[in-house]
């Protein structure tokens, strides 16, 4: 009888270990990324999980003869000798002198777009149509490797701060944020909604675990086609109890962002370099109250009509202002108007017109909304009534308040938005692996 040991024998040598094997024969597995035929030799680039390794074929090195099935995108196993290669910038690189190529699989067709060059050169819509293929391009896949680093940093930091990771349901009897951008779903004859955020559930878990976080998709039926809205995006959320003030939440986010940026520099250096990612240096993040920020915008910008919220150009202006005044890529704007924040937001006891809430702007674009929540039952019921909501419809949610909740608050941070501005993309779709927008549900 065979027995499964749980051990996977390592049959390939990672590129990072090549330096310890100079002059020795090693084996690698990967896809043929690019073949460049020269007069009496060939460069064959092998794409492994995170690298592209240069291999050189020449009849000089071995008796192996290149066959017709050595084509781009074929999956191969190559054995060869590790040698130091020459680089223009003088840095240490290694390549393999090919001894043998085992073909593991051969593609049925050539890719519909060229993916073996530095960049995939085509329209965004074509790129997205062929995402399973275009993502093979090293630069394109690096975006999502880096995005992994952001999520990992968020998770690791919060775990180090005593947070418990949760998963809340995405099919619900109500949306969370309200408004019109909620997707309806037929649920065995009943109408239900896709979650716009994990808000109500993460709050419910504060009296249970005190500090919780979730990294998961949320759904927003955005009826417009903009460069910063998706209909499904990854929300990085947390909620924490026993806060002294809503600044605790901003401090926690600042700590998380610092940790994330350091992690990217340390463990995602190849991607940072490939993408020329401009990783911000965070020491402290400046804060400004909404009304003061609005006054600045009114003073400096023309045609401001909406005094209750910001237009994108105002956020952009505030981003530049924070850079000039504080050399900061980030700016917290606090105390948004009560009218403009959701029903669960705590009003400022000193000025009930405004809330104990904030947005975080990164390079002039909102990436986070957060704040303190109402924890008192009567206060929450009153606020719901004032907003014309029926508390009876929120019986499950109100269990949180009815049966006791500590002062608490939290935030939601859009993963694609953060990625987009870290990498200087003009469109959020570049930062979504398989984006869903008003015109796209495939691939």
Helix (H) or strand (E) holding 234: strand 232-241
Residue nearest Mg ion, CB atom distance? 369
Q: Rounded to the nearest whole angstrom, what is the least distance from the CB of residue 263 to ligand ATP in the complex?
A: 20
**243 phi and psi, to 5 degrees?**
-80, 150
Report the residue number, 369 or 380, with the smaller CB distance to Mg ion. 369
From Mg ion, ligand ATP, none, which one binds at residue 416 (CB under 5 to 8 Å depending on kind)?
A: ligand ATP
| Strands 93-105 and 75-85, sheet pairing | antiparallel
Position 214 contacts ligand ATP (CB under 6 A): no
Cα separation, 287 vs 50, in Å, equals 39
Q: Rounded to the nearest whole angstrom, what is the least distance from the CB of residue 198 to Mg ion in the complex?
A: 15
Applying the rule CB under 5 A, the residues between 360 and 419 that interact with Mg ion are 369
Position 311 contacts ligand ATP (CB under 6 A): no
**Residue for token pair 């209750």:** 308
Interface stretch with ligand ATP, choices 10-18, 222-230, 293-301, 375-383 (CB under 6 A):
222-230
**Residue for token pair 């909102």:** 366
Residue in 25, 156, 222, 248 binding ligand ATP, rule: CB under 6 A: 222
DSSP state letters, 57-107: E-TTT-S----TT--TT-EEEEEEEEEEE--TT---EEEEEEEEEEEEE--
Applying the rule CB under 6 A, the residues between 353 and 372 that interact with ligand ATP are 366-369
**Residue for token pair 């691939």:** 443
Q: Rounded to the nearest whole angstrom, what is the least distance from the CB of residue 373 to ligand ATP in the complex?
A: 14
Q: Which residues pair with 360 in a beta bridge?
A: 332, 368
| Strands 25-37 and 42-47, sheet pairing | antiparallel
From Mg ion, ligand ATP, none, which one binds at residue 233 (CB under 5 to 8 Å depending on kind)?
A: ligand ATP
Q: Rounded to the nearest whole angstrom, what is the least distance from the CB of residue 412 to ligand ATP in the complex?
A: 4
Position 429 contacts ligand ATP (CB under 6 A): no
From ligand ATP, Mg ion, none, which one binds at residue 368 (CB under 5 to 8 Å depending on kind)?
A: ligand ATP
**Site size toward ligand ATP, by CB under 6 A:** 16
Cα separation, 161 vs 163, in Å, equals 6
8 Å CB contact between 86 and 95 = no
Report the residue number, 203 or 235, with the smaller CB distance to ligand ATP. 235
Q: Rounded to the nearest whole angstrom, what is the least distance from the CB of residue 215 to Mg ion in the complex?
A: 18
Cα separation, 104 vs 82, in Å, equals 22
Position 414 contacts ligand ATP (CB under 6 A): yes
Q: Which of 330, 340, 287 is nearest to 309 (CA)?
A: 340
Report the residue number, 55 or 361, with the smaller CB distance to ligand ATP. 361
Position 235 contacts Mg ion (CB under 5 A): no
From ligand ATP, Mg ion, none, which one binds at residue 230 (CB under 5 to 8 Å depending on kind)?
A: ligand ATP
Q: Which of 426, 429, 425, 424 is nearest to 440 (CA)?
A: 429
From ligand ATP, Mg ion, none, which one binds at residue 277 (CB under 5 to 8 Å depending on kind)?
A: none
Residue in 47, 81, 211, 229 binding ligand ATP, rule: CB under 6 A: 229
Cα separation, 237 vs 295, in Å, equals 30
CA angle 57, 62, 64 (to 5 degrees): 75
From ligand ATP, Mg ion, none, which one binds at residue 401 (CB under 5 to 8 Å depending on kind)?
A: none
Name the residues that contact ligand ATP, by CB under 6 A: 177, 220, 222, 229-230, 233, 235, 366-369, 412, 414, 416-417, 428
């Amino acid at each position: 009888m065979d027995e499964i040991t749980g051990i996977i024998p390592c049959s390939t040598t990672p590129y990072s270990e090549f330096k310890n094997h100079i002059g020795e024969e090693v084996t690698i597995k990967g896809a043929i990324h690019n073949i460049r035929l020269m007069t009496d030799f060939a460069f064959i680039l092998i794409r492994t999980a995170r690298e592209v390794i240069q291999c050189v074929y020449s009849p000089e090195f071995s008796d192996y003869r290149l066959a017709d099935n050595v084509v781009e995108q074929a999956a191969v196993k190559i054995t060869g000798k590790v040698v130091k290669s020459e680089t223009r910038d003088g840095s240490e690189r290694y390549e393999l002198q090919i001894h043998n190529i085992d073909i593991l699989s051969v593609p049925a067709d050539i890719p519909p777009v060229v993916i073996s060059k530095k960049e995939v050169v085509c329209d965004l819509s074509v790129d997205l149509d062929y995402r399973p293929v275009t993502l093979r391009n090293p630069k394109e896949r690096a975006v999502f490797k880096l995005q992994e680093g952001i999520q990992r940093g968020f998770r690791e930091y919060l775990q180090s701060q005593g947070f418990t990771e949760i998963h809340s349901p995405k099919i619900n009897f109500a949306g969370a944020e309200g408004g019109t951008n909620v997707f309806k779903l037929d649920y065995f004859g009943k109408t239900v909604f896709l979650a716009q955020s994990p808000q109500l559930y993460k709050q419910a878990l504060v009296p249970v675990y005190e500090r919780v976080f979730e990294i998961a998709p949320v759904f927003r039926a955005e009826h417009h086609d903009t460069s910063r809205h998706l209909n499904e995006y990854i929300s990085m959320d947390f909620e924490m109890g026993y806060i002294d003030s809503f600044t605790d939440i901003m401090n926690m986010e600042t700590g998380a962002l610092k940790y994330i940026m350091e992690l990217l520099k340390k463990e995602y250096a190849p991607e940072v370099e490939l993408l020329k990612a401009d990783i911000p240096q965070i020491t402290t993040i400046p804060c400004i109250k909404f009304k003061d920020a609005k006054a600045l915008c009114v003073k400096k910008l023309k045609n401001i009509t909406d005094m209750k919220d910001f237009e994108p150009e105002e956020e952009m202006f505030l981003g530049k202002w924070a850079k000039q005044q504080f050399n900061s890529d980030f700016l917290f704007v606090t105390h948004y108007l009560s009218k403009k924040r959701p029903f669960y937001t705590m009003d400022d006891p000193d000025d009930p017109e405004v809330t104990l809430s904030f947005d975080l702007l990164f390079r002039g674009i909102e990436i986070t909304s957060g704040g303190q929540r109402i924890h008192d039952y009567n206060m929450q019921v009153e606020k719901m009534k004032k907003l014309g909501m029926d508390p009876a419809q929120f019986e499950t949610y109100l269990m949180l308040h009815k049966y006791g909740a500590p002062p608490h608050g939290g935030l939601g941070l859009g993963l694609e938005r953060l990625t987009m501005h870290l990498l200087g993309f003009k469109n959020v779709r570049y930062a979504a692996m398989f984006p869903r927008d008003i015109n796209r549900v495939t691939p």
